[in-house]
Amino acid sequence: MKFVDEASIKVQAGNGGNGALSFRREKYVAEGGPDGGDGGDGGSVWLQADYSVNTMVDYRYQRFYRAENGEGGRGRNCTGKGGDDLTLNVPVGTTIIDDDTQEVLGDLAEHGQRIKVAQGGFHGLGNTRFKSSTNRAPRQTKPGSEGECRNLRMELKVLADVGLLGLPNAGKSTFIRAVSSAKPKVAGYPFTTLVPNLGVVKVQAHRSFVVADIPGLIEGASDGAGLGIRFLKHLTRTRLLLHIVDMAPFDGSDPAEAVQSIITELERFSPTLHQRDRWLVLNKMDLLPEDEREQRSQQVIDALNWQGPVYSIAAISKLGVDPICGDIMAYLEECAERELEDPELAVKESEIQSRMQEESRLRIQELAAARKAARAAKQQGLDDEDDWDDDDYDVEVVYEP
């Protein structure tokens, strides 16, 4: 199944049914009076988080969704049937944004959580509603109101406790295969990972956490190089980042420079995400001579002036992965315990995640606008070329078929 983490759709709530204009007509019943019933309410449009849905691919092919209209009222004071609500299932972790106002309507982070995104129209009133002692034969009715219409943009951010950062081919997918049952593709060339992968790491019975592996970043990713920053938004829900670095790169590059390049891209993408807790994981240590491992590791730590935790592993042979998993579990449990003791910390954490998501959204919009401007400038340049007069230039213009 194709992984799609963004989709834009248009939703239209149902219109309310019109009120009826009717009078009682029965044999031997004189002056029966008004009996026009009200219309039915229009159906509303809801979005609901569902664990069984893990991609938005269906919303790429169908872009318009409409709820049912309410039926009109009838005589004999019969009320029209209300329109059925329309519920659209989306993956857990979906953020809903009004594409016209850029307002964040909601964040569906739990299974079964739902939000109304378009209100159905209110029912119209029949002429029975307008009868009075002075108006015994009203011919006045009220039509149903129109349902709300909205253009929505839905963004999926995977729910994970730990996120993996690093250059392509640093060993992120190998690490997630070593610590969980996930089986992402692993190969000896950059950009093997093209979509995010999730793995559940089980430390002990009833003690586990989720790791997110995203495609690798390269220098210039915040300007659209490589796969760009499209998938970095999936790390905005994580509590901890693991920065995995290849200690034996095939091109002989400096591991410290590789780490610094990713840190720079991370800061440009989201300053708040850049301040998230990060642990340095030195991978592929088994490819270094045993007597040089400690020295090479210390050189990287000193070059970066790294103050946080540092781990040395060989993911392919699972060397050193158990200690880091145990420490991650302890860290996450400590964070959860602190939030239970102090509810203000939970509120602060929610605000931090909201700020990260807003920064990521703005950065992605800036990049999209820059690309659009570049395409427009390129097209304008092509249009200007069409207006050139070849006689003004001392060159021969050759048009190849």
Extract the annotated binding site for GTP.
166-173, 191-195, 213-216, 283-286, 314-316
Q: Where are the beta strands (DSSP E) in 123-196?
A: 149-156, 162-165
> Cα angle vertex 302, ends 298, 304, to 5°?
120
Cα–Cα distance, 293 to 308 (Å, whole number)? 19
Task: Please enumerate, by residue number, every residue annotated as part of a binding site.
Answer: 166-173, 191-195, 213-216, 283-286, 314-316
Helices (H), 132-254: 172-179
Place of tokens 């610094």: 260
Torsion on CA atoms 155, 160, 163, 167, rounded to nearest 10: -50
What is the distance, to the nearest Å, from the Cα of residue 330 to the centroid of all Cα atoms in its chain? 28
| Residue 74 backbone dihedrals phi, psi, to 5 degrees | -135, 175
Cα–Cα distance, 218 to 273 (Å, whole number)? 17
Cα–Cα distance, 80 to 41 (Å, whole number)? 8
Sign of the CA dihedral with 379 first, then 382, 387, and 388 last: positive
Task: Please enumerate, by residue number, every residue annotated as part of a binding site for Mg(2+).
Answer: 173, 193
| Alpha-carbon distances, residue 166 vs 3, 175, 277 (angstroms) | 21, 12, 15
Cα–Cα distance, 209 to 277 (Å, whole number)? 16
Cα–Cα distance, 163 to 198 (Å, whole number)? 9
Candidates 69, 52, 105, 114; CA nearest to 87 is 114
Cα–Cα distance, 184 to 192 (Å, whole number)? 9
User: For every residue of 267-283, which 3-state class applies, written as one string?
Assistant: HHHCHHHHCCCEEEEEE
SS3 assignment, position 31: coil
Q: Which two tokens stand for residue 1?
A: 């199944």
Residue pair 233/158 in contact (Cβ under 8 Å)? The answer is: no
